[in-house]
Chains A and B, each alone.
Chain A
């Protein structure tokens, strides 16, 4: 089954304790991206990757790191989480970049709800 898998789905942590949210896709997609979703603010892009070893900042990259060492995986790293990073996080992938018409259709994971105390 074609899917984007995120882990963990739920996490409660404390300020400053490094954490990683993993994302893996099995569709051989070139493009991967991380979003955070907050009430009233919609989806805001954190980082994206157009290909292996190619990553770029989105709209809200502060406090986050990513890496793309393999095509299928795109982990999101919070080196020193803070309460303002409490949010619902989504990983997404697409065959090509998201502006490529139908080939840019984004496939989202089911989300990771993170709470930072």
Chain B
């Protein structure tokens, strides 16, 4: 129930094409879904995130689509560019809304997908 399954493991897309990476989860308590982007030799960095109150979030060429009933979410990269070549990680967690002391419950952590290595061919 705690897993996030990410696919594909690797993906090659022609420049200008659409890259699509999918993630699926089982825990219905998950309500925060970030995507992290990692360039070779660097640490991951937050790319975009979504909560399930919306079905889609767009930031530039990057779009997250969210299907709550199917418990799936995906990252779409439009007009893919060679500079988008990186490893992409999806993640999920329950978002802990703080009503009392911030550090009361330390059990909520991100559950990570295994990553997708994306290569954009020129």
Contacts and interface: CB of A to CB of B under 8 A. Distances in A.
Interface residues of B, number: 29
By DSSP majority rule, is chain B's interface helix, strand, loop, or mixed? Answer: loop
B93 A54 contact: no
Contacts of A86: none
B54 interface: no
Contacts of B6: 42
Contact of B112 (A43, A50, A109): A43
Interface of A: 4, 30, 40-45, 48, 50-51, 54, 56, 58, 90, 92, 96-102, 104-111
21 contacts: A42-B89, A42-B112, A43-B89, A45-B109, A48-B109, A50-B103, A50-B106, A54-B106, A96-B98, A97-B96, A97-B103, A97-B106, A98-B109, A99-B32, A99-B96, A104-B32, A106-B36, A107-B45, A108-B42, A109-B43, A111-B43
A92 B38 CA distance: 13
Interface of B: 6, 9, 32, 34, 36, 41-46, 49, 51, 89, 93-96, 98, 102-103, 106, 108-110, 112-115
Going nearest first, the 10 A-B pairs with the smallest beta carbon separation are A108-B43, A42-B114, A99-B108, A99-B93, A42-B115, A105-B46, A43-B112, A50-B103, A50-B106, A98-B110
